[in-house]
Structure 1
Amino acid sequence: MKYVYLGLIVFLSGLSYGQQDNTKNPFQQLDTELPTPNVYRNAAGAPGHAYWQQQADYKMEIRLDDEQQRIYGTERITYHNNSPDQLDYLWVQLDQNVRSLDSDTYTTERSRLDDRMTLGQLSGLEPSFDGGFQIDHVKNAGGKDMPYYIQKTMMRIELPAPLASGEEVTFDIKFWYNINNRLVDGGGRSGSEYFEEDDNFLYTIAQFYPRMALYTDNEGWQNKQFLGRGEFALTFGDFDVKITVPADHLVAATGTLENENDVLTRQQRQRLEQARQEREQPVIIASQEEAIEREKTKSTKEKTWHFTAENVRDFAFASSRKFIWDAMGVEQDNGTVVMAMSMYPKEGNPLWERFSTKAVAHTLKWYTHYTFDYPYPAAWSINAAEIGMEYPMICFNFGRTESDGTYSDRTKYGMIGVIIHEVGHNYFPMIVNSDERQWTWMDEGLNTFLQYLTEQQWERDYPSRRGPANKIVDYMKGDKQYISPIMTNSESIWQFGNNAYGKPATALNILRESVMGREQFDYAFKTYANRWKFKHPAPADLFRTMEDASAIDLDWFWRGWFYTTDNVDIALTSVKPYRINTRNPVAENDRQRKQQREAGRNISSIRNEEAIAQTYDEIDTTLRDYYTDYDPLESTVLDEEEYQRYLEGLSDAERATLEADKYYYELTFKNIGGLVMPIILEFTFADGTKEVKRIPAEIWRMGTEEVSKVFPFTKEVTAVVLDPFLETADVDTSNNYYPSRSSQSRFDLYQRGERNGENPMQRDARARARQQSGSTGSQRK
């Protein structure tokens, strides 16, 4: 490595990189983007001293018609106006209307015709299933009709008199709707699944009742139409729900079962009590053998299951005669015991019996670790094909085995991952109750981040889909025409999964690992979770709390990652080595000789050694004088005297710097992607040791296109790697190395007719059978 020798006066300082457009400055504060703090939400990101929120309490009687696949229901809603505002009308969500024949979900969906179309594709161009709410009546508590108007997925209820601050109103709604088959009628979060082989249904029922829209200090009524993607903004309240189903069904639901003696057998109650005491292994409450018998002998009678739940934002349930049921208790730090439970059909075994309830328990443990104690009595995981969806205390999760009971690793880890994710939604947004209709990332992104942390606690190097920075690279470097900023409304997002799940989860992981550090991040994040549990946070509340609790300015991070589509591409464009010119004549002359030797001779000099027999001065020696044999690198007594006088003029600190004789390296970085990030460097030295340097993102604050920094070392550097641990989501790592590196690509070879579609368990079984067959053949011989 060739070094440039610095002059005798070494001046190392911050450099100025000129003027920049402050309107595009990533370090401009977010004050202009965030709402003004007030008495409801303060500047620290916490609820203000006058914070308020509404409450909606429900009493419901629901009947599931297993013959017609319908839900019939009546509900009494008591709405408490805790706001300082007078309300002239109420808005109620009719989410099932997304399946009405005139739904905007159908009319606004893009479609095209190709030269070749299947009948299925053609039938999908127009709705064929009417699953919208049928409202029989809306009456006040005295039984008098109340005027209402239905606008697609919203219903406005007219009040006879304005509802003043501090008052409440009670009204009744009678309704019904057709339950959609999720696997036939266009999917969905809720519905039925039909099992043809035993002629039975499995119901996962949600959004099944008219629900109060959210009214908040910062949004007013959240009555944005539901088109199917943006989820739900809901009000906390208490629920008292009676659900009538076929007598041989098992039911799981939000809340506490109030009538165990009426709906469970004595044996089931005994097993459930045993499960409440169990902490290590789930207890089977309803076995697979019992479920198979229920499938065969369908009851024509009905039973009513009674559930109550306090301070929840929603209610959902599952019902089927196919269910197997297991459970165990999870003891929390505060001493409370939460029941982790699963229901699933035989088609999920042995996968579900082995993993589901333990995944629920594991999720409660680690989400609590990062946030707060789980406040509810139960957490359910319900098996349903091709779905992952969450509600308070209950979630619906995919994961089925092959007909022979085997499963792929993708199925296993996908199932565990979705259970962790959906159970984790109890914390975000079921408790930390963000507005999903507006900001999907506030529940999905935060939850996906915690899912990643929890998955890594499940198994060493768990194959998480999202979280690590390198997994978001392909998305970040994609065509910006099809990428939206995270701060985009749910219904208008390109690449929904990457935008609302992957990118915010990755951003939080980068904050934790590379910007704030784990200790500071965990403290601030837990502060946010506890400030806003059972409340309605907005993005500004998260942004402000994370700064308030850590004393770290993060405006540049929120601006770049959440408000733009820039990516990270920082290039290490040059590494210039320097040494100090010590003025020591002996040492400096030796260095120059060494450099000259290492530089080598040019080709002309080498060839002239043979081609020129004698030079003129070799022929005529009278041409030789003092300079013929002069060596400019030979030091003299005068040189030594000058060096000593130089040393005598130095201070002790200057002499120490001189004697250290360090190696100096000027590194220059170019910001190609536009997103400023910390600069993380790994230096390798000539003796084989390594050292990591971490430079905060603020190094870019005076100029975001290019920056240089000098690094002094006592040892010679042989290599430098930028972002060595793949923690910044750099989309092009080919420009991150000194000396530069080239990567080798590989391609796969295949033969026609190769066996596909076989999972490793099946292949292993086939191999063992082949081996056993071979052994038997040898014995016969």
Structure 2
Amino acid sequence: MTYSKSSLLFSMLLFTFSALINAQEVIPDNQHLFDNFTYRQGDVYRTASGKPGPEYWQNSADYNLEATLDDKNHTVSGNVTIHYTNNSPETLDFIWLYLEQDRFTENSRGTLTTPVQGNRYNGDTEGGFELADVSAKTKTGTSTKYLITDTRMQLWLDKPLAAKGGEVDIKMNFKFKVPVEGMDRMGRLDVKDGTIYAIAQWYPRVAVFDDVVGWNTDPYLGAGEFYCEYGNYDVKITASADQTVICSGKLVNPNEVLTKTQLERWAQAEKSDETVYIIKPDEVGKPTAHVKTSGMVTWHFKMENTRDVAWAASKAFIWDAAKINLPEGKMALAQSVYPKESDGKTAWSRSTEFTKASIEFYSKTYFSFPYPNAINVAASVGGMEYPGVSFCEYKNRGAADLWDVTDHEFGHNWFPMIVGSNERRYPWMDEGFNTFINHYSTKDFNNGEFTSNQDSPRNLIQYLTNENREGIDTYPDVANSRNLAYTAYYKPAAGLYLLREYILGAERFDNAFKSYIHTWAYKHPQPNDFFNHIENVAGEDLAWFWKGWFYGNGNIDLGITEVKPYQGNYLITVENDGQIPMPVHLQIIYTDNTNENISLPVEIWQRGNSWEHLLKTTKQVQRVVLDPNKMLPDVNVLNDTWNKL
């Protein structure tokens, strides 16, 4: 058969094209691992650099609260006035509020979705709000129309609330029975000298309306925590004269509720780095510990630019305090209240010391503590955070346990109290970030008195190889209760640790992380805002890491396949058998006992799952170790070392 020139040329082109296709099929690339995985482009509300945009907005809610504690019937009753401002660009026909005490009823969604065998989020079912005199008043009129669905109230307005500045005053009276079991977030505890009331989720509050989903009306089920607007609070709590009451914010009437001796001790504590008693252990239950011997006393507190307030009351409280040293010469007051059952030099008598150290470290390292007080409350709650107030396990389990829970709960003042993320949807943005900063606080405290295991992501390998594992992006109320500690706390914390210590380095990471905190303080960041901001400040495209670690269930598995002489040097072949690409850190040990470290960028894996590195040296290689500092949670460490035979 003969071929014309045109036929021959066509055949050659066809052959070349076919060869290229075959080559691509034989050697696929990994670019899909490096591509963006969510819609991360910016707009006028949130920029591509991870900052609030030129038209970013958020609504605000100021609260006036009056409450009375009935310690005979274990009830709280009161009233709330909410001054709500609509800063959004759209009019609002109604306002959604949360009624989180309604979780404690037989037919609440939270009760009906709690497993029969129970879990940490068990709650009493004989509670719930009793509401009266509900109204919403605007410039145009007043509405009393509302609809309650589970833990949400939809309050209709007489006319749509104007965009960009419309205001409404919402008022109602409320009452509820304080649960014994408050889903490990609040409740009451009987001790020898009285009952400890730890009060939270205690008033109707406005749901967040934002530019991402509009009204955030996810029900309060259990594991999912909170998402709140910022505002100013004026709180008056009335209790029997023998009760000691603490609350988020500043006590503005100390002369009316504290004795002369307590006022003197308070003044001393404000100047002391050492713990000072306000109420001593031997004074608990005695008339001299209170300004009145009978009747009722009203405690008045104020707090500005906060997303919530919580409080506690008891006849059984020992009370101590010490000053907190903040940047720029500012001060705050660390306090602790606890019963005699919690007292002891190995535990709660050190609570104020721990609180002070925790707040001082985070203020110095990340962002100055904005509140006047940080108060640790011994209660039946294992550990729960609110602005300026923490509820922690009252049982004396030793200093290390108390440090861990105290440091963790006060770390939450940064995430999510200052940086106001949506805990109900993205618990990793507060629990994980907080667990991460807890590691550095623990290392810093008292010259390393206590240990942290967060510097070894390899501790996660057993979970990461479990067939029942779940991803970080799993909703908290959906996650298996056994997995929640990993999806919300440990795995995201390990991710930040890897970013700082393995991928970016401390300086680049710290610059980006601190910038994120300062940029989004008192605002509502979304996951993409965090991703974009870290990348833009650090100057690194990290899509491969966010996708693999935060939005996937794959694992890291790097290894050394071969080390051989090559043209007077050495050729080192590394492989990626996992689903998450990572930079490669190698340590080369020579026969003369010298060594050198080599780092290969993550981009080596864009071309495939095997890479050859030319090591230029005149020395003899004795050993090569991948990840010599053992930072990576590599699920197969057996191929991480090569030894010369």
Note if contact 2:338-2:394 (Cα within 8 Å) is conserved in structure 1: no
Counterpart position of 1:765? none
Partner of 2:39: 34
Partner letter of residue 28 of structure 1? D
| Alignment partner, residue 399 of structure 2 | 412
**Structure 1 counterpart of 2:584, which letter?**
I
Gaps of 5+ in 1: 1-14, 113-120, 402-406, 581-663, 742-781
Indicate the residue corresponding to 1:285 in structure 2.
Answer: 278
Instruction: Tell me which residue corresponds to 1:773.
Output: none
1:201 partnered with 2:195 = yes
CA separation of 1:21 and 1:696: change in aligned 2, threshold 3 A: closer
**Paired position in structure 1 for 2:168:** 169
Q: Which consecutive residues of structure 2, in runs of 5 or more, have no partner in the other structure?
A: 1-22
Q: Which residue of 2 aligns with 1:719?
A: 623
Residues 399, 414 of structure 1: 8 Å contact kept = no
Task: Please say if residues 623 and 644 of structure 2, whose CA atoms lie closer than 8 Å, have aligned partners that are also in contact.
Answer: no
Question: Is the Cα–Cα contact under 8 Å of residues 276 and 328 in structure 1 kept in the other structure?
Answer: yes
Between the aligned partners of 2:556 and 2:123, the Cα distance in structure 1 is 43
Decide whether aligned partners of structure 1 residues 128 and 320 sit closer, same or farther in structure 2, where only a CA change above 3 A counts.
closer
- Spell out, residue by residue over 1:324-351, the C-alpha distance to the aligned partner (whole angstroms, 9 max, x if none): 1111112222221111111111222213
Listed one character per residue, the Cα deviations across residues 62-118 of structure 1 (whole Å, up to 9, x for unaligned) are 011111111111101111011111000000001111111101122223447xxxxxx
1:489 corresponds to:
475
Q: Give CA deviations for 1:281-329 in whole Å, capped at 9, x if unaligned.
A: 1111111111254799996522110001111000100111111111111
1:44 equivalenced with 2:49 (yes/no): yes
Question: CA offset at residue 413 of structure 1?
Answer: 1.6
Aligned to 1:178: 177
Letter in 1 for 2:214: G
Q: Which residue of 1 aligns with 2:639?
A: 735
Change in Cα spacing, 1:386 to 1:86, as seen in structure 2 (3 Å) is closer
In terms of mean alpha carbon deviation, does 489-498 or 263-272 score higher? Answer: 489-498
Q: What residue in structure 1 maps to residue 19 of structure 2?
A: none
Partners of 1:111 and 1:125 within 8 A in 2: no
Q: Is the 8 A contact 2:279 2:319 kept in 1?
A: yes
Tell me the secondary structure at the aligned position of residue 252 of structure 1: strand
The question of whether the paired residues in 2 share the 8 Å contact of 1:89 and 1:158 is answered with yes
Residue 699, structure 1, aligned to residue 604, structure 2 = yes
Q: Where does residue 636 of structure 1 map in the other structure?
A: none
1:467 Cα deviation (Å)?
A: 4.8
Q: Name the structure 1 match of 2:90.
A: 85
**Quick one: which of 136, 139, 143 aligns to 2:132?**
136
1:265 to 259, 265, 275: 259
Name the CA shift for 1:137/1:689 in 2 (closer, same or farther; >3 Å). same
Per-residue CA deviations over 1:491-535 (Å, capped at 9, x if unaligned) read: 222311111100110000110001110001000101100000011
Q: Does 1:305 align with 2:299?
A: yes
Q: Which amino acid aligns with 1:700?
A: W
1:330 to 312, 324, 330: 324
Contact 2:622 2:644 in 1 (8 A): no
- 1:384 paired to 2:391: no
Moved more, 341-350 or 155-164: 341-350
Question: Alpha-carbon deviations, 1:676-723, whole Å to 9, x = none?
Answer: 1121222221122222222222221211x3222222223211112212
Q: 1:517 to 1:91 in 2, by over 3 A?
A: same
Partner in structure 2 of residue 746 of structure 1: none
SS at match of 1:334: helix
User: SS at the partner of 2:298?
Assistant: strand
Measure, in 1, the Cα distance between the counterparts of 2:242 and 2:129. 27
Whole-angstrom CA distance in 1 between matches of 2:59 and 2:637: 50
Question: For the residues of structure 1 that align with 2:161 and 2:560, how far apart are their CA atoms?
Answer: 64
Whole-angstrom CA distance in 2 between matches of 1:140 and 1:53: 20
Counterpart code for 1:555: A
**Relative to structure 2, which stretch is displaced further, 682-691 or 503-512?**
682-691
Aligned to 1:535: 523
What letter corresponds to residue 576 of structure 2 in structure 1?
A: N
Q: Distance in 1 between matches of 2:395 and 2:220?
A: 30
- Counterpart of 1:474 (choices 450, 453, 462) is 462
Mean Cα displacement is larger for which, 520-529 or 347-356? 347-356
Letter in 2 for 1:569: D
- 1:444 and 1:501 in contact (8 A); partners too: yes
Shift, 1:386, TM fit: 4.5
Q: Provide the residue aligned with 2:18 in structure 1.
A: none
C-alpha deviation, 1:187, in angstroms: 4.1
- TM-score between the two structures when normalised by the length of structure 1: 0.75
Could you give the per-residue CA deviations for residues 591-642 of structure 1, whole angstroms, max 9, x where no partner exists? Answer: xxxxxxxxxxxxxxxxxxxxxxxxxxxxxxxxxxxxxxxxxxxxxxxxxxxx
Paired with 1:95 and 1:308, the residues of 2 have a C-alpha distance of: 22
SS at match of 1:91: strand
**1:360-759, aligned counterparts within 5 Å?**
360-398=355-393, 400-401=395-396, 407=397, 411-458=398-445, 459-460=447-448, 462-479=450-467, 482-494=468-480, 495-578=483-566, 580=568, 664-703=569-608, 705-739=609-643
Higher CA-based Rg: 1
Q: How far apart, CA to CA, are the structure 1 residues paired with 2:121 and 2:318?
A: 38
Report how far residue 130 of structure 1 moved.
1.4
Cα contact 2:121–2:223 (8 A) shared by 1: no
Offset of residue 490 of structure 1: 2.4
Per-residue Cα deviation, 1:714-734 (whole angstroms, up to 9, x for no partner): 321111221221211112212
Aligned to 2:6: none
- Output the CA distance in 1 between the equivalents of 2:301 and 2:487: 37
Letter in 1 for 2:610: E
Alpha carbon RMSD of aligned pairs, Å?
A: 2.6
For the Cα contact (< 8 Å) 1:466–1:472, is it kept in 2?
Answer: no
User: 2:337 pairs with 317, 339, 343, which one?
Assistant: 343
The residue number in structure 1 matching 2:14 is: none
Once residues 332 and 289 of structure 2 are traced to their aligned partners in structure 1, the CA distance between those partners, rounded to angstroms, is 33
3-state SS of the aligned residue for 1:176? strand
Q: Which residue of 2 aligns with 1:149?
A: 147
Amino acid at match of 2:97: V
Please give the alpha-carbon distance, in whole angstroms, between the structure 2 residues aligned to 1:73 and 1:352: 35
Mapped to 2, the partners of 1:534 and 1:276 lie a distance apart of 27
Shift of the alpha carbon at 1:465? Answer: 4.3
CA distance change for structure 1 residues 329 and 126 in 2, over 3 Å: closer, same or farther?
Answer: closer
SS of structure 2 residue aligned to 1:430: helix
Could you tell me whether the CA contact under 8 Å between 1:62 and 1:244 is conserved in 2?
Answer: yes
Over residues 179-219 of structure 1, what are the superposed CA-to-partner deviations in whole Å (9 max), with x where a residue is unaligned? 1113xxx7430110112x44x10111000001110011122
Which protein has the bigger strand share? 2
Aligned-partner residue type, residue 306 of structure 1:
H
SS in 1 for 2:435: helix
